[in-house]
Structure 1
Amino acid sequence: MPLNEEEAVLLAAAWRRLAGGGPEAAAVGAELLDRWNEPHRRYHTLLHLWETLRAVDVLQEEARDADCVRYAVWFHDAVYEGRPGRDEEESAELAGRLLSLIGVEPGRVREAVRLVGVTAAHRPEEGDADGAVVCDADLSVLGAPADEYLAYTAAVRAEYRHVPDRVFREGRTAVLRSLLNGPHLFHTSFGREHWEAGARANMLAELDRLASPAPLDAPPP
């Protein structure tokens, strides 16, 4: 489901509040919105950006620098070609270049770049408050109601529509099991209290679907 008109306006306004209204910031904001709106995306879209920023608002009291986390969210999937690891690396490089261009303080630029990198594995170090918030915000969809989770999984499958079904099932299963085998999915106290149980139920149900011979639902390209 795409952003509605009101959400799109609010998303643009959120960038202006964060980065300011100068011409350089406006240009960077426009580039980011264009990137997140690329036609090949199905899940990593403006809606995902919007929902991840809203999750940061929920978790911001647990962050050390919530605005730095917000910068990281704007950039964390700015480069998205379905290449795990490399996409995050190039997104981090883009963050370093464009945040410096709009005059963000160098220490905050370095931290935002680091946080983008943390989203590659979603395993922040113990005591990394901002890493915990950016990871939990990015994965908050895992704890969504079942119907929203199903829409998320269908959109992810559509982004990998070029991947054969067997290969996709194997790769997706490995990702889910890796997350579930950790001591917890979420790293903030709010995430563990409010999203953890629902996320585990959603992911276990998805594993059952992946093991079934029934076709995986995916929206058309």
Structure 2
Amino acid sequence: MPTENFMDILFSNWQHTLQLLGVDQLAAEKAFNQLVAAYSTPGRYYHTLKHIDRVLSTIQILQGYTNNLAAVQLAAWFHDVVYDTEAQDNEERSADYAFELLSNLGIPESIIITVTRLILNTKDHQAAVNDYDSQVLLDADLAILAANSVEYEEYAHAICQEYGWLPEKDYITGRQKVLERFLQRSHIYFTPLMLEFAEPSARGNIQAEIQSLLSD
């Protein structure tokens, strides 16, 4: 269960972004509570508020690459708001959720359109060469891949738990395919900072997880 201090920090981050867009505190708090409820649904082990916090922290580090920091931060909040491992349309539903909630908060339409586009780009984790906002969001979303070995193992285990409904053999096959797709890419990360400092660790972690899956 998230600690009170953790929730205070998260709410402060949320409120700060919305204040810059002219949203009053009461409306911001109500929307925050909706997000907390969504990210606290049963069956989530990795795609929780802890993940959102990590994504936001990484965006903070990479913010110099963004064109629209507020849109990237909002996309981070919403990109996994709908998460069902048995569904294929989580990103589309998350984008719809963001569109509705942000519209109700009176966020400018141009920002909402950017937010939904960014969320949809997390489906395939691909970004155009000049789409710096998507690049930052995607790099932040995948920052966990470059974590230290203990954190990475916790992440891998949590993902496995989220697919607990799948027979183990099917999970191993599917997970291996996902991981190998990342290794086959010319680069996992887009921003120069992540490419230089996180890429080698991420590739090492992924290779180690594949070996672990195959030896189980």
Give the TM-score band, short-chain normalised. Answer: over 0.9
Aligned mate of 2:156, from 153, 157, 165: 153
The reply to whether residue 38 of structure 1 matches residue 37 of structure 2 is: no
- C-alpha separation between the residues in 1 aligned to 2:126 and 2:86? 18
Closer/same/farther in 2, CA of residues 151 and 123 from structure 1, 3 Å limit = same
AA of the residue aligned to 1:188: T
Q: TM-score, normalised by structure 1?
A: 0.93
The reply to whether residue 185 of structure 1 matches residue 188 of structure 2 is: yes
Aligned mate of 1:114, from 97, 113, 117: 117
RMSD over aligned Cα atoms = 1.2
Query: 1:62·1:133 contact (CA, 8 Å) conserved in 2?
Result: yes
Structure 1 range deviating more: 88-97 or 30-39? 30-39
Equivalent residue runs for 1:62-73 within 5 Å: 62-73=65-76
State the 4+ residue runs in structure 1 displaced beyond 6 angstroms: none
Q: Structure 2: which 5+ residue stretches go unaligned?
A: none
- Could you tell me how far 1:85 is from its partner in structure 2? 4.1
- Could you tell me how far 1:194 is from its partner in structure 2? 1.4
Number of the residue aligned with 1:6: 5
Query: 1:24·1:101 contact (CA, 8 Å) conserved in 2?
Result: no
- Could you tell me how far 1:190 is from its partner in structure 2? 1.0
- C-alpha separation between the residues in 2 aligned to 1:189 and 1:114? 22
Aligned mate of 2:143, from 140, 147, 150: 140
Q: For each residue in 1:123-153, what CA deviation from the matched residue of structure 2 results, as whole angstroms up to 9, or x when unmatched?
A: 1111110000000000000000011000000
Give the fraction of aligned pairs with identical amino acids, expressed as a percent. Answer: 32
- C-alpha separation between the residues in 1 aligned to 2:99 and 2:153? 35
| 1:109 aligned counterpart, secondary structure | helix
Equivalent residue runs for 1:69-218 within 5 Å: 69-83=72-86, 85-212=88-215, 214=216
| 2:77 aligned counterpart, secondary structure | helix
- Could you tell me how far 1:19 is from its partner in structure 2? 1.4
- Could you tell me how far 1:155 is from its partner in structure 2? 0.3
- C-alpha separation between the residues in 2 aligned to 1:22 and 1:106? 20
AA of the residue aligned to 1:15: W
AA of the residue aligned to 2:16: R
Q: For each residue in 1:161-191, what CA deviation from the matched residue of structure 2 results, as whole angstroms up to 9, or x when unmatched?
A: 1111111011101101111101000011111
Query: 1:68·1:108 contact (CA, 8 Å) conserved in 2?
Result: yes
Instruction: Give aligned pairs, total.
Output: 212
